[in-house]
Amino acid sequence: MQFRATLAIVSLAVSPMVFGEDHEGWGGEGEVGVLITSGNTEETNINSRLGLVYEEDEWRNKGEFRSTFSETEDETTAEKYRGELQTDYKFEGSQYLFVRGAYEDDRFSGYDFQSSLTTGYGNRVWQRGERSFLDLSAGVGYRFNKLEEPDEDGNRDEDEAIGRLAGQFDYALSENALFRQKLSTEIGLDENNAITESETSLQATVVGNLSMKLAYLVQHVSDEPEGRDDTDTEISLALLYGF
């Protein structure tokens, strides 16, 4: 646990130096939140995220990597790792075609891993200035998940065609404050199993490129593995560095 925490903090500290102003087209942000308590209850919570963007006239490439770890009284209560990559081909102003891949390893989800690959169309339907906008996208693709335990038919593999709907709304409350709402759902076209995720966040500048971020994350699975909750929620407070 200590190694993972150190690695997350070091990677977020180094990334602004690696992708600085001398690398034209690169941008992104890194964040880390750490809570350690002792006394009557010993608890450790670590959340980290690294987002990178490389943009040219016709292409935009985005990557996001997240990790979550919680430990109470020397017992691990949450451990999740997630990565997303997306490439957009921009045309006709604000419109774009995208290809997106995602992979998640959540120790307590009932899955060994969950993965998906989608492609589709997106459009920035509204924009005001550089920091306020609304992006909407829709696409189709394929989902492949592996269960930790076989289902009632003895199968561990879940694979099906999916449809994906997503949106992101950013609104600059002031020069130093930003509200962000991200919402997505991936619906199975065969089994109708839907995975929906919502993230609501508010960030405020502390000094320079350093901000505080408060976020509320909800993930709902309509057909969850047996013995697992269908909804996970997470509230986090983190330091964020934009570059």
What is the mean pLDDT, run by run of 10 residues, along the chain of 243 residues? 42 43 78 80 88 93 95 90 97 94 92 95 95 97 91 83 97 96 94 90 95 93 78 90 88
In 3-state terms, what secondary structure has residue 41? coil
In 3-state terms, what secondary structure has residue 7? helix
Rounded Cα distance, 27 and 69, in Å: 26
Rounded Cα distance, 83 and 29, in Å: 15
Residue 222 has a pLDDT of 87
Residue 117 has a pLDDT of 98
* Of 151, 156, 218, nearest in space to 185 by CA: 218
Measured CA angle at 101 (ends 216, 20), to 5 deg: 70
Which residues, at least 6 apart from 104, have a Cβ–Cβ distance to it below 8 Å? Answer: 80, 81, 82, 83, 111, 113, 114, 115
Residue 11 has a pLDDT of 45
Contact between 3 and 46 under an 8 Å Cβ cutoff? The reply is no
Any long-range contacts for 23-27 (C-beta under 8 Å, 24+ apart)?
25/54, 25/55, 25/56, 26/52, 26/53, 26/54, 27/52, 27/53, 27/54, 27/55, 27/242, 27/243
Q: How many domains does the chain divide into?
A: 1
Contact between 119 and 140 under an 8 Å Cβ cutoff? The reply is yes
- Residue 163: HSE in the Cβ half-sphere, 13 Å Cα cutoff: 7
Domain ranges, residue 123: 2-242
What does the pLDDT look like over 16-65, one tens digit per residue?
Answer: 434 444 567 889 999 999 877 777 668 899 999 999 999 998 999 999 99
Which residues, at least 6 apart from 217, have a Cβ–Cβ distance to it below 8 Å? Answer: 197, 198, 199, 233, 234, 235, 236
Which residues, at least 6 apart from 196, have a Cβ–Cβ distance to it below 8 Å? Answer: 183, 184, 185, 186, 219, 220, 222
Residue 41 has a pLDDT of 67
Q: What is the per-residue DSSP string for 195-234?
A: EEEEEEEEEEEEETTEEEEEEEEEEEETTPPTTS-SEEEE
For residue 188, give the CATH number of its domain: 2.40.160.40
Residue 4 has a pLDDT of 44
